[in-house]
A and B are shown apart, each in its own frame.
Chain A
Amino acid sequence: MARSSKIHVGLEIGTSKTCIVVGEVKPDTAVKILGIGTTKTAGVRKGEIYDFPQASACLKDALVKAEDSSDVEIGSVYLAVTGSHIQGLNSRGTFRLPEGQSIVAPEHVEEARTIARDIHIPQDHVHLHPIIRKYLLDDLEHKTSPVGLYGKTVEADFHIVHGIGNRIQNSIALVRKALLEVDDIVFSPIATAQMALDQEQRERGALVIDIGGGTTDYALYMEGAIAASGCIPVGGDHITNDIHLVTGLAFSKSEKLKIMEGDASADPARSVGVAKLIDDRGFAEVEVRRSILNEIIRQRLEETLRLVRQRLPEDSVKAIGAGIFLTGGTSLMRGFGELAFEVFGRDIYRPEPPEISGVQASFKDPQYATAIGLIRYAQILETERAAPPGLFGKITRLFWPFGK
């Protein structure tokens, strides 16, 4: 059997939950989710591990659940990482062909690539992904390597994601401790985008914003290739914390209030009256004026979205054709779509909370977007690797264009 179905596992250690998704990739490239193991995370803050043993215990718990539900023994995973130290930036390498040569040779492209990837990053940082965005041959854009074409200068445009080496190493160490191998490390928003965006949307320009418990990750795609990515260390935890700080309620109550009653739209009609939490005996335990509660939530989320907007390349928001895709647990906040529209002025796509529970429902649940995206990522990587190793194939294999 030349092509059999293959099982991939995606692991995301998020700030609020650890999530393992087991997926089977069929020969026809369809993905079937076999099982999901998820558990509340402890020991992670703002996307970064601060309590190793606790995080490790959570991982083991999720692992057991995932193996149970999927009936698969998990040996290796694709790991999503995030954290405010991880940044994406674009870099272009230019190589001028030597005198007398007018046909682009593979080594010329290679040289341009090397130059592009040789960017100045802080000493303790390492490259996570060098992603080729496009090539330019005499200022003319080429989607694929221009080897064999006539030209004078070759340019390679890369999107490079880098982060602090030690912290990434620690994430890997955590997984290894659970006796799992790490197939590959993926920056979270890039994985999420695999799940959230299709090719057409990437061509038209799309922004994925994944607002999780501790971080807000974003990835911008323009003209089929990634144009920006990054992480802002603010998430749903901050909203809970804000409610706690402003109203003085306990964390658990704040969290509940946020989920049950919160609304991020500035709609005054939704800010009338008092939000109450009713305890078991029917008494109102907590009462907070909706106008205050909603204002706290709205200001936090608005600020976060504006920070994302600030970090995008100039004028890129206008160029987003397909729209903005919100995922992550916090994107379930009521009124968040309206708020996002107010900030970006683009079409907003937002997953609806699933009506039914069960494995199938997870597809739609934005909380699993990243982990499922990892499976897609693995699948694409797999097909790239399976490609016949011609000269062209070899190069694309090394630098798999995520634009595809």
Chain B
Amino acid sequence: MIPYHRELQLTIPSSAVKIIGLGGAGANMLERVALDGTEGAALLAINTDARTLAACVASDKIQLGRNLTKGLGAGGDPELGHQAMLEAEAEIREALRGCRIVFLCVGLGGGTGSGAAPVITRIAREEGAFVVVFATMPFAFEGRRRRDQAETTLNELAVLANALVTFDNNRMGELVLAKQGIHEAFSAADRMICESIKAVIRLVIRPGLINIGLDDLMSALRTNRSRCLFGSGIAKGKDRAASALRNALSSPLLDQGALLKEAQTVLVHLSGGEDLTLYEVELLMQRLQKFVPESAHVLFGAVIDPTMGDNLSVTLISALPEDSLAAAPRDTGGSSSDNSGRDTGDAGVAADNALDERVATSPAAKARRSAAQPAGTGNVALFTHEVLAETPVEVLDEGLAEAPVEAAPEEEPAADPSEMSENSSPFGQPFVFKPVKRAPVAATAPWEKPMPATMADSQDAEGEPSVAGLDAGPAAHTNAADPVTAASPNDPDAPKLKLGVKSQTLQNELAFDATPRGRFEGQTPNVVDGEDLDLPPFLRKKK
């Protein structure tokens, strides 16, 4: 019998998720993240400028270039930033040790951000983390030079990072904040980034009823040089499905959903209390269809989260290629999407490919892709797949192909024991990357994969820190997590499991108290200075 531990949770321990703010802009984003409060992530500020660093709220701080810049900034010179970075490399490596997922927030164009970001990304990768970079591009008015610096770095990051989300400040300005002050504009931009970081964390950390993981995320973000489309909305009460969607679409990055028209892959993540009904989900998805082209690939995930109460939240994530940079080759890669559900990996894979040029490219990639899909459930370390690919791939693929996404896509295919066992043997060797202790495990791992619980065990055995484990993280967000958590993401029991998990307290939104409003009932509140003018001052002032 395969032991199954119910108490095993799928979360990634907070210690293994790190949000790094690099440079001045990064520090600001980090500040916002800290203000909004993130569950389960450690914050790390890295900067050359000692003063800014001292003012930062992050618990961990690393100063770059102690000897080189002597506590001053990099002065807009990426070369200087790069040198300063190298000086502190050991320190940073130490800080990133053991991280599963690293979010790097950076404003490109300046010295520290542009110079150090690629190095940090590389170090994090080497330490075995899955790296998601949130980069802001400079405003047009900041000049050509900075733009060029930013572009150069962006290109490097595209190669190095697992996923890259780009926010163009110009876009921000024009979409969001035409009438607001610059201070507001920047903080709104930060807020937006913070929101998406949180959404990603939520997505990755929480196991879902219909699961969605980093692999899906990557395929939603697909292109490396892309503009991120992101929207998140929450609503409660009657008609909450519709209003949650409306709120999500009102995100400035989505432009009332108009921008989704061109999206090729859209990730939709639903989170609701225990009373979330199938009907609501259907309704919501139906409405969303109107905004998304028919041909678009919709990655759908849902989570039951008791702390949500009667709230329903929707998160939409997608990416549009910034002009013609749309990665054509990657798209072809996406063709693997033939298997209905999970074309998971392509983006991710692509990114990975890029990442290690050292790894065999094309064939391997293909192999991986196919492999990645079965990986659905995830766990399979992306890298391992290469090896896998050579033999069992086809089998896997077929199995996969049949599995419709909606129906707990991941599990089913994987669950097929026979196939899995076949794979098993190849599986053993594949851990190309630092296989470390993996080899012994391997034997068991393959067929256990279907059974999440065991998977966890196996990983445990491995002493999980190995890269492979890491990479797995992206593929199926959960398993990577850590031994404990690795469970079956799609397991039917998942919701129940979560019940236990969800103890993190989520503060409920304070609603306007539902005072009757007479003839102004149902209209948008007429709010001035925080007071609803439609309510009698006689009643308001008494309180």
Contacts and interface: CB of A to CB of B under 8 A. Distances in A.
Contact of B533 (A123, A238, A251, A302): A238
A240 B519 CA distance: 9
A299 B178 contact: no
Contact of A238 (B178, B516, B534): B534
Report, nearest first, the 7 A-B pairs whose CB atoms are least far apart: A242-B536, A299-B537, A241-B518, A296-B538, A303-B537, A122-B179, A299-B538
23 contacts: A120-B179, A122-B179, A232-B528, A233-B526, A233-B533, A234-B533, A238-B533, A238-B534, A238-B536, A240-B519, A241-B534, A242-B537, A242-B538, A242-B539, A244-B519, A245-B515, A245-B518, A246-B538, A246-B539, A295-B538, A296-B538, A300-B536, A303-B537
Contacts of A241: 517-520, 534, 536
B523 interface: yes
B407 to A, nearest CB: 45
A300 B515 CA distance: 17
A242 B541 CA distance: 13
Interface in B158-175: none
Contacts of B515: 245
Nearest to A254: B518
B535 interface: yes
A328 B473 CA distance: 68
Given A238-B533, A241-B518, 14 more contacts: A120-B179, A121-B179, A232-B533, A233-B533, A234-B526, A238-B536, A241-B517, A242-B536, A242-B537, A242-B539, A245-B535, A246-B536, A246-B538, A251-B518
Nearest to A301: B537
Contacts, number: 60
A256 to B, nearest CB: 15
A252 to B, nearest CB: 12
Given A237-B519, A241-B519, A245-B517, A299 B536 contact: yes
Contacts of B537: 242, 299-300, 302-303
Contacts of B528: 232, 307
A244 B526 CA distance: 18
Nearest to A237: B519
Interface residues of A, number: 26
A237 B523 CA distance: 14
A52 to B, nearest CB: 17
Interface of B: 178-179, 515-520, 523, 526, 528, 533-539, 541
Interface string A227-250: 000001110011011101110000
Contacts of B539: 242, 245-246
Nearest to B536: A242
Interface of A: 45-46, 84, 120-123, 232-234, 237-238, 240-242, 244-246, 251, 295-296, 299-300, 302-303, 307
B175 to A, nearest CB: 10
Most interface-central of A233, A245, A251, A300 (chain B CB within 10 A): A245
A300 B539 CA distance: 10
A233 B517 CA distance: 15
A123 B173 CA distance: 12
A145 B535 CA distance: 48
Contacts of A296: 536, 538
A338 to B, nearest CB: 18
A45 B179 contact: no
A264 B536 CA distance: 14
Nearest to B174: A123
Nearest to B521: A241
Contacts of A238: 533-534, 536
B178 A120 contact: yes
Most interface-central of B515, B519, B523 (chain A CB within 10 A): B519
A251 B533 CA distance: 18
Nearest to A251: B519
A55 B534 CA distance: 22
B375 to A, nearest CB: 46
B539 to A, nearest CB: 6
A302 B516 CA distance: 22
Contacts of B536: 238, 241-242, 245-246, 296, 299-300
A296 B516 CA distance: 16
Contacts of A300: 536-538
Nearest to B538: A296
Contact of B178 (A45, A46, A123, A307): A123
Most interface-central of B517, B520, B526, B538 (chain A CB within 10 A): B538
A237 B519 CA distance: 9
Contacts of B523: 45
Contacts of B178: 120, 122-123
Contact of B541 (A46, A251, A299, A307): A299
A21 B339 CA distance: 72
A249 to B, nearest CB: 11
A241 B523 CA distance: 14
